Structure 1
Amino acid sequence: MIPGPDQALITRNALAFGRTAGLLTMFGGLLGLTVHATAAAVGLSALLLTSATAFTVLRVAGVVYLLWLGICALRSSRRRDDAPQAVAEQPRSPLQHVRTGFMSNVLNPKVALFFVTFLPQFLPTHGHTLSQAVLLSAIFAGLYLLWFSLYNVVVDRIGSLLRTPRARARIERITGLLLVGFAIRLAVQQP
């Protein structure tokens, strides 16, 4: 529930394209989360984190993707400021929303790090740990799904207040700045 790239993208897409777009973005994030949970459950994330090169590649890809999303949002906010009545959001396919959420989550090394550091603390030291890891990951995914579904409904409900041209330009600007900030923070943090 800590604000991050997923929340910024879900908010932006729900306001720009409607509740379904927010839900599709959330679903993409959930798919990305599933990739990290599965990798952690079978031990691949631990291998990723022990390889400085692999971790750096993932981190750089995440930084580039977040910067690109942030710059696109900032450019969109500038177009809205210049001609708020003339700018209509281009329709997107459902797959584009899913891809945005998926890429944001799967390229986030902090999610991999979370599963590698958090998950093992709750696993038994002997026996079948894979089933326990899958169960704990499913619980986490369920909480993600519940939280962002509720969040998406709230954003949609107050969306009429936030869908005015001036508010949309501000939201685009804030989202862009947040995504660029997340990218910079990810770039400068030590693994």
Structure 2
Amino acid sequence: MWTQTAMATGVLALLTVVPGPDMAVVTKRAIASGRAEALRTAAGITTGLLVWGAFTVVGLAAILAASAEAYFVVKVLGAAYLGFLGLQALWQSRRSAPRTAGSTATASGHAYLTGLITNVLNPKIAVFYTGLLPTLAPQGLPTAAGMGLLVLLHATLTLTWLGAYACLVSRARSVFERPRVRRLLDRVTGVVLIGFGVRVATEAT
């Protein structure tokens, strides 16, 4: 059992550190609003994993993964949301001055929600949890318990990784606040988010 758990941890860790929409969203928030807001975004992303984990344990994620229509709806919504975040970043790149205190306060209210929505509208997590996790679950535990353990493990790894990443990016925020650098990063982040949105929209079920 412990050997299987160690192997599962390694697989989940590799999947966690692979760059994707989560890292792009955390990067955007860390640059725009600093460490605290980036950490809130990471917490929202982690909550999204727990939501999908709960769906998986009770069987709802399997229904989504098996239903082409349901999968398509979630996929389109997720792609549209990533596209919206990307366009928002591109629009912000038009500003030459740093964000004001008021704009930062507004961002603060949406950081957690942004992370949550990003993950809840990612149907690939449903496929991952229903397709891969059962093969990694420890055989010495009941199926539901084994799946639940792996979901908690994945959530912990995600929060730890994104939290550390958020702190790293936010430490260089003073450099990112320079108008030219800020515009460039906003544009790059916007293009990356739109790219992820297009990939989500065009990927096969």
Corresponding residue of 2:174: 160
Q: Give the distance between the partners of 2:125 and 2:30, measured in 1 at CA.
A: 23
> What pairs with 1:1-80 in structure 2 (closer than 5 Å)?
1-77=17-93, 79-80=94-95
Corresponding residue of 2:4: none
1:88/1:138 CA distance change after superposition, 3 Å: same
SS of equivalent residue, structure 2 residue 127: helix
Q: Deviations over 1:104-133 (max 9, x none)?
A: 111011122111122110235696211111
> What pairs with 1:77-92 in structure 2 (closer than 5 Å)?
77=93, 79-80=94-95, 84-85=96-97, 88=100, 90=103, 91-92=105-106
Amino acid at match of 1:8: A
* Coordinate RMSD, CA, aligned: 1.7
Which runs of 5 or more residues in structure 1 are unaligned? none
Corresponding residue of 2:10: none
Q: Deviations over 1:18-60 (max 9, x none)?
A: 1100001101111111111111122211111111111111001
1:138/1:97 CA distance change after superposition, 3 Å: same
- Deviation, structure 1 residue 158: 1.7
Amino acid at match of 1:32: G
- Deviation, structure 1 residue 87: 5.5
Is the 8 Å Cα contact of residues 21 and 196 (structure 2) preserved in structure 1? yes
Is the 8 Å Cα contact of residues 33 and 108 (structure 2) preserved in structure 1? no
Q: TM-score, normalised by structure 2?
A: 0.85
1:127/1:88 CA distance change after superposition, 3 Å: closer
Q: Identity percentage over the alignment?
A: 38
Q: TM-score, normalised by structure 1?
A: 0.91
1:162/1:93 CA distance change after superposition, 3 Å: closer
